């Protein structure tokens, strides 16, 4: 539960004749995490080299690239295809030879024709845009070019301009940006160009067209309509091909990918001319079953040995060992870093505390119900393991929000029929504070208590991890340093409590004074602080500069209250404006204008609470996980573990014959 599943390091050796049976069995069972062989002068591996792919690897690789090209051309999303019935490997292989060439040709031809028409469509659209400014000029396009003694200017200009040379000119302000066409003698081109540039003239290219611009635009528009109809027809045919062949093509991809992985896996083995050796990791509980299966597949012609693990040198892959409740939270752990093999795994603690923090922040029955329905409903649309885990985490957090909403007596900014069971967060906005108003001081102290307990737990776990991750004197130093951090924090707390009486915290101000105005609690706290600093410095003296983070990390937990109160404030402001200021006054004296205002109030009410729900999800999620990543994990957690990735594939569309 708090550690990874036990792993064993396994060595598998056999003659080259047994290579394919061993690979097939390892792939089928999906429990052997291969450790790649690297050519080096290591004792016991003299004369070994990296293996070569199995015969036919190149052909299979070409086939899988071909299938993936067809899948991509058809726009098929592999993750979105739901398997109906599994296809046997033999049946699928015969269909690949028989049906795939025709499907490939049809899809590629449809795509090629569609892309060609789309290119033409874009070209015609650009031609229309190029011709548009010339529509206002009553000239056919062939009159803009072909002169030897004259030069034609055409472009946009801010205002009409006077030219001092002989010319023919047409100006119109009916075109956006105005439009000017001028024909001048060739020898005056430079002079006219300077005049036009001073008037901020922007030349446009004259399209290579004949006839009047309006006629050409009409022709291109008709062609675009025709092309769009053809493209729609091709898209429909492509969609029909996709619907008819998606499952088959994805099954082909799955089969060929499996074959590629099997034919190329010898590149990860150590080999000689006559034999091969594969090293890897297996869950300890799976060793007997794997050993029996390999011996059966090779008629006993295989050597299998469990190797001793050197935890200082070997990188042991990590497979979580958590109850079903906390498995969704593993995605949050992997986002930070998977624990090392011998490290304490905090996933279970995160799966419990993260929803609690989320509920403390959001703490509203209505918002919790909205997020709960969303987390359940999105499961139908978002496929994949990662999306499912995130939605399950959101589900747990939503339930926590509903629970704390009941305790806070909150429902989209309104009070429920009962008073708050714990501290009140009801603000006096619009005269609807309720009770004695928000208990901000008590809420802040509560958040600090949460920080004290959370950080103390982190330091205790740090002491436990010291013996797991380190050896000898280093482990002792790390353990003492963690105890020092804990002593320093509690010493500071004792000193604060001895000076200031705080709500829902121990009042130690009345204890007898010993010396220099310090009472018993202050002296005990000072001793704890001094001893703690010494304990911290014995591991690394530079760590002493981090002492201010003790208070900053404790106060960081105040975000639980601050973010929560901001959500309450937004909800109450939305209610006050939409209902108190817009809807209620109009209901008393209903008029046609009042109906419009009521509708506006309802729209504001819905949009405001939708936005606040999104902000609550974002704020509650980010701040809750941030308190784990920064304030909690930095006290004990190292991470950097290697994910357990066994050789093989979980098949969805194919099965062995």
Q: How many angstroms separate the CA atoms of 598 and 578, rounded?
A: 8
pLDDT tens digit sequence for 499-517? 998 888 998 888 888 877 7
Question: Between β-strands 168-172 and 317-318, what pairing exists: parallel, antiparallel or unpaired?
Answer: unpaired
pLDDT tens digit sequence for 139-185? 999 999 889 999 999 999 999 999 989 999 999 998 889 999 999 99
**pLDDT grade, residue 569 (50/70/90)?**
very high
The pLDDT assigned to 436 comes to 52
Give the pLDDT mean for 350-372.
96
Give the pLDDT mean for 184-193.
92
Q: How many angstroms separate the CA atoms of 634 and 631, rounded?
A: 6
The pLDDT assigned to 567 comes to 94
Report whether pLDDT(460) > 80. yes
Are residues 184 and 166 in contact, defined by beta-carbon separation less than 8 angstroms?
Answer: yes
Q: What is the average pLDDT score of the chain?
A: 91
The pLDDT assigned to 435 comes to 47
CB < 8 Å & 24+ apart, contacts of 408-414: 408/363, 408/364, 410/363, 410/364, 410/365, 410/568, 410/571, 411/364, 411/365, 411/366, 412/364, 412/366, 412/367, 412/571, 412/575, 412/609, 413/364, 413/568, 413/571, 413/572, 413/574, 413/575, 414/575
Residue whose token pair is 């202050």: 522
pLDDT tens digit sequence for 599-651? 999 999 999 999 999 999 999 999 999 999 999 999 999 999 999 999 998 88
Helices and strands, counts by H and E, the chain: 18, 18
Q: Where are the alpha helices (DSSP H) in 409-501?
A: 440-469, 472-499
* DSSP code per residue over 316-359: -EE-----GGGGGGHHHHHHH-PPPTTS---HHHHHHHHHHHHH
The pLDDT assigned to 432 comes to 52
User: Nearest CA to 555 among 630, 457, 636?
Assistant: 630
The pLDDT assigned to 431 comes to 58
Give the pLDDT mean for 369-374.
96
pLDDT tens digit sequence for 249-279? 998 999 999 999 999 999 999 999 899 999 9
Phi-psi map region of 430: left, alpha, beta (phi>0 left; psi -120 to 50 alpha): left
Report whether pLDDT(228) > 80. yes
pLDDT tens digit sequence for 375-425? 999 988 887 788 999 999 999 999 999 999 999 999 998 989 999 998 888
pLDDT tens digit sequence for 531-551? 999 999 998 899 899 999 999
Q: Helix, strand, coil proportions of the chain in percent (round to 5)?
A: 60, 10, 30
Name the DSSP letter for residue 81.
P
Return the beta strands (E) in 105-189 as ranges.
150-156, 168-172, 179-185
**pLDDT grade, residue 453 (50/70/90)?**
very high
Which residues, 6+ apart, have CB-to-CB distance to 488 below 8 Å? Answer: 528, 529, 532, 533, 536, 547, 550
Which neighbouring-strand residues pair with 643?
Answer: 318
Which residues, 6+ apart, have CB-to-CB distance to 230 below 8 Å? Answer: 117
The pLDDT assigned to 92 comes to 87
The pLDDT assigned to 85 comes to 78
Give the pLDDT mean for 195-220.
93
Give the pLDDT mean for 224-237.
95
Phi-psi map region of 256: left, alpha, beta (phi>0 left; psi -120 to 50 alpha): alpha
* Rounded-to-10 torsion of CA 466, 470, 476, 480: -30
Q: Write down the pTM of the prediction.
A: 0.81
Report whether pLDDT(65) > 80. yes
Least confident of 69-83, 91-105, 339-353, 579-593: 69-83
Q: How many angstroms separate the CA atoms of 235 and 110, rounded?
A: 8
pLDDT tens digit sequence for 602-613? 999 999 999 999
Report whether pLDDT(426) > 90. no
Residue whose token pair is 């208070």: 551
pLDDT tens digit sequence for 37-59? 887 756 667 778 899 999 988 99
Other C-beta atoms within 10 Å of 412: how many?
20
Q: How many angstroms separate the CA atoms of 590 and 583, rounded?
A: 10
Percentage, residues of the chain above pLDDT 90 = 73
């Amino acid at each position: 539960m708090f550690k990874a599943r036990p792993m064993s390091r396994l060595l598998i050796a056999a003659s080259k004749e047994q290579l394919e049976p061993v690979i097939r069995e390892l792939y089928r069972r999906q429990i052997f995490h291969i450790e790649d062989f690297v050519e080096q002068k290591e004792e016991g591996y003299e004369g070994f080299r990296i293996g070569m792919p199995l015969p036919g690897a190149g052909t299979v690789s070409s086939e899988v690239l071909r299938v993936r090209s067809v899948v991509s051309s058809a726009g098929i999303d592999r993750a979105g295809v739901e398997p109906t019935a599994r296809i046997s490997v033999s049946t699928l292989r015969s269909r690949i030879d028989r049906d795939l060439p025709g499907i490939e040709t049809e899809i590629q031809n449809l795509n090629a024709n569609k892309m060609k028409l789309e290119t033409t469509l874009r070209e015609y659209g650009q031609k229309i845009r190029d011709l548009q400014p010339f529509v206002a000029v009553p000239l056919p396009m062939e009159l803009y070019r072909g002169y030897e003694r004259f030069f034609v200017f055409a472009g946009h200009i801010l205002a009409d301009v006077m030219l001092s040379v002989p010319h023919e000119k047409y100006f119109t302000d009916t075109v956006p940006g105005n439009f000017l066409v001028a024909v001048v003698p060739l020898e005056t081109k430079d002079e006219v160009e300077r005049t036009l540039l001073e008037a901020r003239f922007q030349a446009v290219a004259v399209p290579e067209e004949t006839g009047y611009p309006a006629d050409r635009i009409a022709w291109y528009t008709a062609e675009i309509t025709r092309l769009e109809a053809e493209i729609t027809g091709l898209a429909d045919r492509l969609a029909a091909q996709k619907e008819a062949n998606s499952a088959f093509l994805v099954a082909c991809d799955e089969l060929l990918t499996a074959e590629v992985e099997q034919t190329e896996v010898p590149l990860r083995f150590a080999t000689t001319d006559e034999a091969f050796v594969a090293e890897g990791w297996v869950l300890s509980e799976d060793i007997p079953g794997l050993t029996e299966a390999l011996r059966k597949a090779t008629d006993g012609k295989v050597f299998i040995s469990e190797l001793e693990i050197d935890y200082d040198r070997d990188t042991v892959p990590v497979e979580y060992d958590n109850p079903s409740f906390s498995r969704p939270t593993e995605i949050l752990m992997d986002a930070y870093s998977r624990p090392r093999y011998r490290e304490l795994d905090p996933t279970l603690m995160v799966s419990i505390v993260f929803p609690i923090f989320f509920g403390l922040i959001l703490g509203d029955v209505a918002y919790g119900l909205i997020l709960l329905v969303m987390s359940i409903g999105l499961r139908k649309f978002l496929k994949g393991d990662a999306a499912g885990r995130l939605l399950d985490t959101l589900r747990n957090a939503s339930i926590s929000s509903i629970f704390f909403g009941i305790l806070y007596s909150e429902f989209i900014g309104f009070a429920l029929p009962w008073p708050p069971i714990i501290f009140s967060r009801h603000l006096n906005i619009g005269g609807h504070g309720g009770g004695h108003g928000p208990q901000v001081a008590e809420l802040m102290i509560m958040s600090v208590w949460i920080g004290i307990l959370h950080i103390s737990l982190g330091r205790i776990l740090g002491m436990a991890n010291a013996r797991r991750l380190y050896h000898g004197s280093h482990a002792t130093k790390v353990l003492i340093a963690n105890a020092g951090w804990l002593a320093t924090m509690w010493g500071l707390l004792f000193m604060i409590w001895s000076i200031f009486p705080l709500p829902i915290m121990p009042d130690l101000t009345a204890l007898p004074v010993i010396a220099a105005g310090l009472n018993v609690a202050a002296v005990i706290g000072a001793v704890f602080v001094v001893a703690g600093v010494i304990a911290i410095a014995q591991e690394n003296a530079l760590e002493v500069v981090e002492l201010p983070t003790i208070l900053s990390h404790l106060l960081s937990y105040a975000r639980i209250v601050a973010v929560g109160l901001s959500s309450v404030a937004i909800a109450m402001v939305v209610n006050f404006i939409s209902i108190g200021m817009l809807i209620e006054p109009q209901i008393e004296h209903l008029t046609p204008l009042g109906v419009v205002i009521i509708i506006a109030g309802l729209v504001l009410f819905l949009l405001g609470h939708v936005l606040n729900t999104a902000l609550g999800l974002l704020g509650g999620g980010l701040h809750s996980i941030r308190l784990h990543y920064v304030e909690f994990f930095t006290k004990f957690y190292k991470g950097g573990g290697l994910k357990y990735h066994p050789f093989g594939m979980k098949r969805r569309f194919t099965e062995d014959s």
